[in-house]
Amino acid sequence: MGSYLLRRLMIALPSLLGITVVLFTVLALAPGDPFEELASNPNVPPEVAQMLRHKFGLDDPIWQRYFRWLWAMLQGDWGFSFISRVDVDRLILQRVPVTLAVIGASQVLALLVALPVGIYSAIRPYSWFDRIASALAFVGFSLPTFFTGLLLILLFSIKLDWLPFVYRADIAATGWQWWWEQIRQSLMPVMVLGLFQGASWTRYVRSAMLDVVRLDHVTTARSKGLSDWDITMKHVVRNALIPVVTLVALQMPAVFGGAIVTEQIFRIPGIGSLLIDAILRNDTPVIMGVTFVFSCLVIIFNLVADLLYGWLDPRISYR
């Protein structure tokens, strides 16, 4: 296991390096200037704007700026936000816990929906339960998250006045009251992301279960007189979860993309809203830092998926 992790990390380093080269080049060639507002302000002398551009190296060649950025990153310096006047790593650390809490809770909800519904639909294929679950799943992942988010706001916030539709990071309450307010304001964004993912994963779980049920080792276990519960849980579910784990790991970037839209709808002060604000204001260091974090998360989730393969299927070794 240790040698396998080391090999995967050695492979991940060149991948991250290549990702940073592409991201930095695209951002450097993109139109827009973080000092555009400063240059158009008549109260700011042109030499001040030029001095700032020279200080941050914006007039240097792209390859020089990239290696300067990479060397600073290796030393733990993520850069300085041109707009917020705050270090990039500090900005990201302020936003990441909120995003991870919302996304983590939504993925738990998605698994709690997808696994039992998908497994039972495969056990009783073409039953009324299977047909209703399939219809709801198609509807669930066909509706975009911004549409379902607005529907929930209209129903639970405006019509019923049960839940707040604006996420507040400065809740004045303490103790259990603080936790209750956090749960209330997180319910709708978690439901939007969780039910969307759960609807998609339900179909994959059902399909994977039906594929495994037809295999020879399941027929052999049934011929030995094992109960349906033992056959399903010990011989079908574990093998069926292997493609599902792959799907979950590969869809994590899409989950963070959907979280960006959801954070904008519910005004969640997460890393997604930070990225949107940085793009609108041409804050290149923040864009680079956030996209680098997203890239690291993709590689980490793929590594976790590879490790789970060995637990789900003992035939897989880490040699």
pLDDT at 318 exceeding the cut of 60: no
- Please report the pLDDT score of residue 82 as a whole number: 74
| Residue type, position 51, single letter | M
The residues near 156 (Cβ < 8 Å, ≥ 6 apart) are 162, 163, 165, 187, 188
Per-residue pLDDT, averaged over 287-305, amounts to 80
Percent of the chain with pLDDT over 70: 85
The confidence band for 313, taking pLDDT boundaries of 50, 70 and 90, is low
Residue 244 in tokens: 């599902």
Residue 36: the pLDDT is 61
pLDDT given for residue 248 in this prediction: 76
Burial readout 39-57 (b: 16 or more C-beta within 10 A, e: otherwise): eeeeeeeeeebeebbeebe
Please give the average per-residue pLDDT across 153-165, as a whole number.
86
Share of the chain above pLDDT 90, in %: 1
Whole-angstrom distance, CA of residue 51 vs CA of residue 273: 31
- Residue range 34-86, pLDDT digits in tens: 666 555 556 666 676 677 667 666 677 888 888 888 888 888 888 878 777 78
Residue 18: predicted pLDDT: 86
pLDDT at 217 over 80: no
Distance CA 83, CA 4 (A): 42
| Structure token digits, residue 166 | 């604006």
- Quickly count: other Cβ atoms within 10 Å of residue 294's Cβ: 19
* Region label for 167, one of left (φ > 0), alpha (ψ between -120 and 50) or beta (otherwise): beta
pLDDT of 236-283, one tens digit each?
777 777 777 777 776 776 677 667 778 888 888 888 888 888 888 778
Tokens of 178: 């603080």
- Phi, psi at 87, each rounded to 5°: -60, 140
- For the stretch 17-38, pLDDT in tens is 888 888 888 887 777 666 665 5
Q: What is the DSSP letter of 143?
A: S
- What is the Cα–Cα distance from 233 to 193, expressed in whole angstroms? 28
First to last CA, the chain: 8
pLDDT of residue 132: 92
pLDDT at 40: 56
pLDDT at residue 271, rounded to an integer = 82
The more confidently predicted of residues 87 and 7 is 87
Residue 39 or 191, more confident: 191
**What does the mean pLDDT of the chain come to?**
79
**Residue 159: burial class (beta carbons within 10 Å; 0-12, 13-18, 19+):** exposed
In 3D space, the residue among 268, 271, 24, 257 whose CA is nearest the CA of residue 164 turns out to be: 268
Residue 254: predicted pLDDT: 67
What's the DSSP call for residue 69?
A: H
